[in-house]
Amino acid sequence: MKNLIIVGAGSAGKHIINEILKNNTKFNYNIIGFLDADKSKHHNIIKGYKVLGDHANIKYFIKQHKIDEIIIATTSINHKDLGKIYTEVKKQGVNVKVLPSFEELLLDKSFTKQLRKIRVEDLLGREPININSKDIHEYINSKVVIVTGAAGSIGSELCRQLVKYNPEKLVMLDINENDLYFLELYLKRHYKIKVYPEICNIREKGKLNYLFKKYQPDLVFHAAAHKHVPLMENNIGEAIKNNVFATRNLIEISDKYIVEKFVFISTDKAVNPTNIMGATKRLAELILEDKNKSSHTKYMAVRFGNVLGSNGSVIPLFKSLLKEGKDLTVTHKEVTRYFMTIPEAAQLVLEAGYIGKGGEVFVLDMGKPIKIIDLAKRMIELSGLNLGEDVDIKITGLRPGEKLYEELLYDVDYCKETQNEKIFIADIRNEDIKIKSGLKNLKKIVENFDRNKMKKKLKELVPTYKEANY
Q: Are 111 and 84 in contact (CB under 8 A)?
A: no
Q: What is the DSSP string of 215-267?
A: H--SEEEE------HHHHHH-HHHHIIIIIIHHHHHHHHHHHTT-SEEEEE--
Q: What is the DSSP string of 124-139?
A: HS-------HHHHHHH
Asked if 269 is an active-site residue, the reply is: yes
Amino acid at 470: Y
User: Can you tell me the distance from the alpha carbon of 407 to that of 396, in angstroms, rounded to the nearest whole number?
Assistant: 22
Element spanning 49, H or E: strand 49-53
Residue from 41, 143, 227, 269 carrying the catalytic annotation: 269
CB burial of 287-299 (b: ≥16 within 10 Å; e: otherwise) equals bbbbbbeebebbb
Strand-strand pairing, 361-364 and 423-426:
antiparallel
Amino acid at 311: N
Q: Are 407 and 272 in contact (CB under 8 A)?
A: yes
CB burial of 315-344 (b: ≥16 within 10 Å; e: otherwise) equals beebbebbeeeeebbbbbeebbbbbbbbbb
User: Can you tell me the distance from the alpha carbon of 313 to that of 317, in angstroms, rounded to the nearest whole number?
Assistant: 7
Q: Give backbone dihedrals phi and psi of 67, rounded to 5 degrees, phi first.
A: -75, 135
Q: Which residues are catalytic?
A: 269
